[in-house]
Chain A
Amino acid sequence: MARFSLSDTPVDTATLRANLLDDRVGAYASFEGWVRNHNQGRPVTGLRYEAYLALAESEGGRILEQTCALHDILDAHCVHRIGDLAIGELAVWVGVTAAHRDAAFAACRFIIDEVKLHVPIWKHEHYAEGDAGWLHPRRE
């Protein structure tokens, strides 16, 4: 299984977690990003993620490989949803295994931060007022 993947169907986190565990593992850290019902003061009813598939997979894979090289961990996986998502659905999942917790926490945080910064995925939010829009955040 690729360390980074996109999924157009709901993600089974129990299976993802089980795939990472083995006898060398002393620590497992995960992050789950969920679709919340508001953003920047506006009520949100749902959203859609779109990706540039080829580049998202290669860039996500690069981030995961970089993480494994930089951190003292055993393995790491990340899955990001694409397509239409409802409030409360899992949008992104990160799981990291290591011998010790410090590396597992640090690598998990690194992965989600890098994915949000670099992987070509875009969020289209649908608002309770009936309009919708793409999010193109500014990063100074």
Chain B
Amino acid sequence: MTRVTVLYFASLRDAAGVASEVVDSSEGDLRALYETLRARHGFALPVDRLRVAVDGAFARWDDVLRPGIEVAFIPPVSGG
């Protein structure tokens, strides 16, 4: 198991009920992690409408999970 911290924003935070959580994951990459958490929390947004960041920088969905990283799921942005 890999222990990571996950950050949620906007509609994802509302659906999860928390702004962040620590997750022990057996998933291999960020895409699989999102799919697992999407099922758990009922996120409406599919993975192809999100971006993902690790430790404050944009990352790729096939990046592998590493212990202690901070993962942020980025729903479609609406600033401006």
Contact = CB atoms under 8 A, between A and B. Distances in A.
B6 to A, nearest CB: 13
A83 to B, nearest CB: 13
B32 interface: no
A55 to B, nearest CB: 5
Nearest to A56: B79
A69 interface: no
A116 interface: yes
A120 B9 CA distance: 9
Which range contains the number of A residues in contact with the other chain? 20 to 34
Contact of A123 (B45, B72, B78): B78
Contacts, number: 74
B78 A112 contact: no
Contacts of A51: 79
Nearest to A112: B80
B49 A123 contact: no
Tier of interface size on chain B: 10 to 19
Given A52-B9, A58-B57, A136-B49, A122 B75 contact: yes
Contacts of B9: 50, 52, 120, 122
B45 to A, nearest CB: 7
Interface in A64-99: 80, 91-92
B4 interface: no
Given A134-B14, A136-B11, A116 B79 contact: yes
A58 B77 CA distance: 15
Interface of A: 33, 49-52, 54-55, 58-59, 80, 91-92, 112, 115-124, 133-139
14 contacts: A49-B79, A50-B9, A52-B53, A52-B74, A55-B57, A55-B72, A59-B58, A80-B79, A115-B79, A115-B80, A117-B77, A120-B53, A120-B79, A122-B9
Closest 7 CB pairs of A and B: A121-B79, A116-B80, A122-B10, A135-B78, A136-B76, A123-B78, A54-B56
